[in-house]
Amino acid sequence: MSALNSTQQVFDDEEPTIGKWVCQLLVAEGVIGVLGNLLVCLVILRVRLLHNMTNYLLVNLAVADMLLCLQCIFNGLIFHQDCKIIDYVPKTFVGKVAFCRFLQSDFLSYAFSFASAYNLCVVTLERYVALVHPLQYARKLTATRMKILITLIWMMSFLFSLPYLFLFKPSNDPDLACSEIEYQDNTFHVLLGVFAFFSVYLLPLTLMSWAYYKIQVTLKRQAKALNLQHARAAAYDLVIARQRLVSMLMIVLGALIILWTPSITSSLLCLHLTDKGPLSFCGSQGFKYFKGIANFMFYFNSVINPIIYELKYKKFRQGLKVAFCCCHKSQGANTVDIAMVPL
């Protein structure tokens, strides 16, 4: 997860041609991610058909992913030796502090990663209450409470990322902006890796997995009951539509697990690619290649969500047509709303 700063360490010294290829690939990935998530925001906010709580929360998730992709582009073009377009070194000490602590460190990368993971948790929470405790939905998930929850998520994301401000410090060299802070032992790095593993990865994924299990059990029970009662087709279709939305969100969760696991695990074992750490293989060439691939997969998670919406979210496909094709603006009024009211 250590962004392009770690990727630069992977390839710069020994194989600059591979380093340049990887850097350009990550920057291109960031551009695609920004455009894709921006499209999600525009479609949902523009099309009235998609104006509901679930989709507003998906917009918030798309914003977090878009910021993470922007950070990927920024790091590549400013800090990566093979891709950077300017060689900027702040002249003042205060400028160097801000540059090193907030920009060159992994602070923003982790902050936006926290925000992405926990905003997906909020989407899961909304669907859990709507489907497992529908009678309590209107009372518990008011618009005001959801706004407060989203604000707290963003505040916590930046708060939890504060330790990463202490990885770099301003350099005394006038031609160099930052230098890595050297600690007497690796305790700080180990604790930081363990903290990130549990807070940004294990905890939210455990909560979401449990919630989706409960949702699936509830939906299967509802579908079975309606089928036995020979309920009206509209009622049964409503349950099926809910199942499709939940399946789409589970695919989003599954993609996050698959694409984040290599990077989070490598950060847990080796925060920095050096043989001076607690594990000697952190400085090996094989691990450096693995870290580069893991970083690519990590950022790809922020790129793939809009693709999942397009492939698996029927309502989003309809909204996409409405947003960019006038001939479809009158369609969709008679279809079952996938996002649905909880009742």
Continuous H helices in 133-232: 137-140, 143-160, 187-196, 203-228
Between 167-181, 295-309, 316-330, the lowest mean confidence (pLDDT) is in 316-330
pLDDT band at 149 (very low <50, low <70, confident <90, very high): very high
Q: Could you give the count of Cα atoms lying within 13 Å of 114 in the half-sphere of its Cβ?
A: 23
Residues in the chain: 343
Position of tokens 């540059």? 99
Q: How many whole angstroms separate alpha carbon 116 and alpha carbon 67?
A: 9
Contact predicate 61/116, CB 8 Å:
yes
Q: Establish if 205 belongs to a structural domain.
A: yes
Q: Which CATH number do you get for residue 184? A: 1.20.1070.10
Q: Establish if 109 belongs to a structural domain.
A: yes
Computed over every residue of the chain, the mean pLDDT equals: 80
What is the structure's pLDDT at 279? 62
Residue 125 is encoded by which pair of tokens?
């929470």
Q: Establish if 341 belongs to a structural domain.
A: no
Give 179's strand partners. 169
* pTM, 2 dp: 0.82
Q: How many CB atoms lie within 10 A of CB 119?
A: 25
pLDDT band at 98 (very low <50, low <70, confident <90, very high): confident
Q: Establish if 264 belongs to a structural domain.
A: yes
Contact predicate 283/273, CB 8 Å:
yes
Q: What are phi and psi of 229, to 5 degrees?
A: -85, 0
Q: How many whole angstroms separate alpha carbon 72 and alpha carbon 228?
A: 52
Does residue 19 have a pLDDT over 80? Answer: no
Residue 156 is encoded by which pair of tokens?
């916590």
Q: Are strands 168-170 and 178-180 parallel, antiparallel or unpaired?
A: antiparallel
DSSP string, 241-263: HHHHHHHHHHHHHHHHHHHHHHH
Count of structural domains, the chain: 1
Q: Establish if 262 belongs to a structural domain.
A: yes
Q: What are phi and psi of 169, to 5 degrees?
A: -135, 160
Contact predicate 315/50, CB 8 Å:
yes
Q: Establish if 56 belongs to a structural domain.
A: yes
Q: H or E segment at 266? A: helix 233-269
Q: Establish if 206 belongs to a structural domain.
A: yes
For residue 62, the Cα-to-chain-centroid distance in whole angstroms is 8
Q: What are phi and psi of 274, to 5 degrees?
A: -150, 150
Q: How many whole angstroms separate alpha carbon 50 and alpha carbon 54?
A: 9
Q: Which domain holds residue 268?
A: 3-328
Q: Establish if 343 belongs to a structural domain.
A: no
Q: How many whole angstroms separate alpha carbon 213 and alpha carbon 317?
A: 27
How does pLDDT run across 53-89, given as a tens digit for each residue? 989 999 999 999 999 999 988 887 777 666 666 677 7
- Roughly how many angstroms between the first and final C-alpha of the chain, as a whole number? 40
Does residue 263 have a pLDDT over 70? Answer: yes
